[in-house]
Structure 1
């Protein structure tokens, strides 16, 4: 449903700055009815790729097809099947929920004869039933995001793009929004591509793509990505993570990675981490704040593949 081939985008330089490659020869497929998440450190090219897919930027090279339509040659046809939820709110906070939805209907040519049915269907999954006459500025962040998605659903898209839609939501609102989105996606057979750096959001999706410096480093199911790095790992919270990692590599010949104040050891098979943990406790207890054996999650895959912690800053 989304086919990206050899996509490249270069921001031109100036007298003071060199040209910068934001997306480099990227190829990616999202199948019909799949829910995929696109992740990577800040500066990995996510925002540039999202702008290209939305038609807001023209790539330097390569091609994009959405629902069989070429984005460069058939932009109107692409817009007819595409719904977009941007990271920044696209609602008029001084208008009511109903007024925001009515404006969306006018913009998309949804006539008065079908608007009530489209609106009610788009709102059916939400908690907005009694809030149609409420101004958006009085809604919680979670409810406002529901209005954003309801606007998109009212146009009956086949493909939905979402740019970090849970930014600013509390954990409960984030979970509720994603749960409703996943249920809608399955029920309607929607194809969804969403950017996110919160890996708890990626555990239940069909595929996860990880980018770094504009290049696609991995694209697979969450289960397959976790399997890449073993079944358990030792994680140490240290008083001086860099110094401890250097000592463990020198003294015990262990392979380490430092993430913030944590030292993470190379992943092993089940049962093989305990002897390593005991050796560290015997020789380095005073350097530790905490130590544990854990099963690798998608955040650990992210660190292994990109060399950075989720949310680590860069330029995009």
Structure 2
């Protein structure tokens, strides 16, 4: 449903600034009906990729098709199947919920005879039924986000692009929004591509893409990505994490990563971490604040793939 081939985008430089390659020879497919999440550290190129997919930026080279339509040569056809929820609010807070939805209907030439049916269907999954006459500025962050998504759904899109839609929401509102999104995904068969830094949001999706420095570093199911790390891992908290990591590498030949005050060690294939834990405790106990065994999460995959801290972990 979303097909990207050899996509490159270069921001031109100037006399003082060199050209910047934001996306580099990236190819990616999101199949029809899939829910995919796109993640990556700041500067990874995901925002540029999102802008290209929305039609807000033209790539330097490469091809993009959405629902079989070429994004560059058939932009109107693409807009006809695409719904976009931006990170910044795209509703008028001074207007009521109903007024925002009515404006959306006018912008997309939804016939008056179809308006109420489209509106009611778009609102069916929300908690906005009794709040149509409320101004958006009086709603909670979670409800305001529901207005955004309901507005997009009125156009009956086949593909949804969402740019960190849960930013700024409290945990309950975030959970409710994501549960509603999953219901819409299953009930309507929507194809969804969403950017996110919160790895708990990626646990139940179909596939996760991780970018770094404009390149696609990994793209697979959450289960397959976690399997890259192993079945278990040892996590050590230390006041001198970098120093301890260096000693573990040089003295025990271990492969480690450092995240803040944590040293993380991927375990062997048989998943038996106890002998390793006992050896580390015996040799380095004074340097260890705590040590534990855990199953790898997507944040651990992110650290392994990008070589940096997982800024989106909760």
Q: TM-score range by the shorter chain?
A: over 0.9
Question: What does 1:266-277 correspond to in 2, within 5 Å?
Answer: 266-277=266-277
Matched, 1:254 2:254: yes
- C-alpha displacement at 1:270, in angstroms? 4.6
CA distance in 1, matches of 2:173, 2:273: 37
Question: What does 1:3-42 correspond to in 2, within 5 Å?
Answer: 3-42=3-42
Deviating beyond 4 angstroms after TM superposition, the runs of 4 or more aligned structure 1 residues are: none
Question: What does 1:9-158 correspond to in 2, within 5 Å?
Answer: 9-158=9-158
Give the CA RMSD over aligned residues: 1.1
List per-residue Cα deviations over 1:46-97 (Å, max 9, x = no partner): 0000000000000000010001100000000000000000000101111111
CA distance in 1, matches of 2:39, 2:238: 28
CA distance in 2, matches of 1:260, 1:299: 13
Query: Aligned pair count?
Result: 312
Bigger relative contact order, structure 1 or 2 (CA pairs below 8 A, ≥6 apart): 1
Matched, 1:287 2:298: no
- Paired residue for 1:185? 185
List per-residue Cα deviations over 1:141-183 (Å, max 9, x = no partner): 1111111100010110000000010111111111111111011
List per-residue Cα deviations over 1:265-286 (Å, max 9, x = no partner): 1232354211111122222222
CA distance in 2, matches of 1:251, 1:175: 44
Unaligned runs of 5+ in 2: none
- Give the TM-score, by structure 2 length: 0.97
CA contact (8 A) 2:231 2:271 kept: no
- Give the TM-score, by structure 1 length: 0.96
- C-alpha displacement at 1:250, in angstroms? 2.4
CA contact (8 A) 2:33 2:185 kept: yes
- Paired residue for 1:244? 244
CA distance in 2, matches of 1:133, 1:221: 42
Partner secondary structure for residue 14 of structure 2? coil
Matched, 1:165 2:162: no
